[in-house]
C-alpha cells in the first residue's frame, strides 16, 4: 500500500497524502489528500504507527 509520497522540487521538499484511510500527519496536523505540503528541517511525518523526523544537511561541493 502507498500512504504518502515525498517529492523534491528544486530545493523544496513536499509531502502528499495519497488518499490513505488513516491519513498522513505533518507535525500533528492531518493532511488533506492529494495536496502538497512543504516539509521543513525537523518536521515530523506520521503514517499509522510509523513516525519520521526529517533533518536536512547542506551538501558542500569541493
Domain ranges of the chain: 4-53
User: Is it the case that residue 46 has pLDDT exceeding 90?
Assistant: yes
C-alpha cell at position 51: 513516525
Contact 6, 13 (CB under 8 A): yes
Q: Across residues 29-57, what is the average pLDDT? A: 95
* pLDDT at site 2: 84
Contact 34, 18 (CB under 8 A): yes
- The pTM score is 0.86
- Please report how many Cα atoms fall inside a 13 Å half-sphere around the Cα of residue 9, on the Cβ side: 11
User: Is it the case that residue 57 has pLDDT exceeding 90?
Assistant: no
Task: Give, in words, the CATH class of 4-53.
Answer: mainly beta
Rounded to whole angstroms, the Cα distance separating 21 from 62 reads: 46
Confidence band for 59, pLDDT divided at 50, 70 and 90: confident
User: Is it the case that residue 62 has pLDDT exceeding 80?
Assistant: no
Amino acid at each position: 500500500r502507498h500512504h504518502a509520497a515525498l517529492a523534491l522540487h528544486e530545493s523544496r521538499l513536499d509531502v502528499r497524502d495519497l488518499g490513505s484511510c488513516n491519513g498522513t500527519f505533518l507535525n500533528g496536523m492531518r493532511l488533506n489528500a492529494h495536496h502538497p505540503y512543504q516539509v521543513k528541517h525537523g518536521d515530523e511525518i506520521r503514517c499509522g504507527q510509523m513516525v519520521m523526523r526529517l533533518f536536512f544537511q547542506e551538501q558542500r561541493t569541493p
